[in-house]
Amino acid sequence: MQRWTLVIHGKVQGVFYRQSAAEKARALGLTGTVRNLENGDVKLLAEGPEAALEQLYSWCQQGPERAQVDKVVVDKSKASGEFTDFIVAT
């Protein structure tokens, strides 16, 4: 089990990015959280098997239809097990 922290840069706020990312993560069986950052980026923490995290990473590079993703920065570490679901932080 791994923990990936993704920071998504681009036009990713106000385009349902967080909700769409949470739905994708849940469908992949991942746990974690996603939230908006003050600078306009989105930060996503996800834990689960590497194969599922790779699928989520690929999805994040595109995002929902109205998003314009410039880049996704990923930091990989060992899973903490602190999450029981995938939630959208407010």
Instruction: Check: CB of residue 46 under 8 Å from CB of residue 30.
Output: yes
Active site residues: 18, 36
pLDDT tens-digit profile of 21-65? 999 999 999 999 999 999 999 999 999 999 999 999 999 999 999
Please state which CATH number belongs to domain 2-88: 3.30.70.100
DSSP labels, 31-77: EEEEEE-TTS-EEEEEEE-HHHHHHHHHHHTT-STT-EEEEEEEEEE
Instruction: Check: CB of residue 70 under 8 Å from CB of residue 10.
Output: yes
Arithmetic mean of pLDDT, 77-89: 96
Supply the pLDDT for residue 68: 98
Task: Kindly indicate the confidence band of residue 15, based on its pLDDT and cuts at 50, 70 and 90.
Answer: very high
Q: Is the pLDDT of residue 90 over 90?
A: no
Per the prediction, the chain carries an average pLDDT of 97
pTM for the model: 0.95
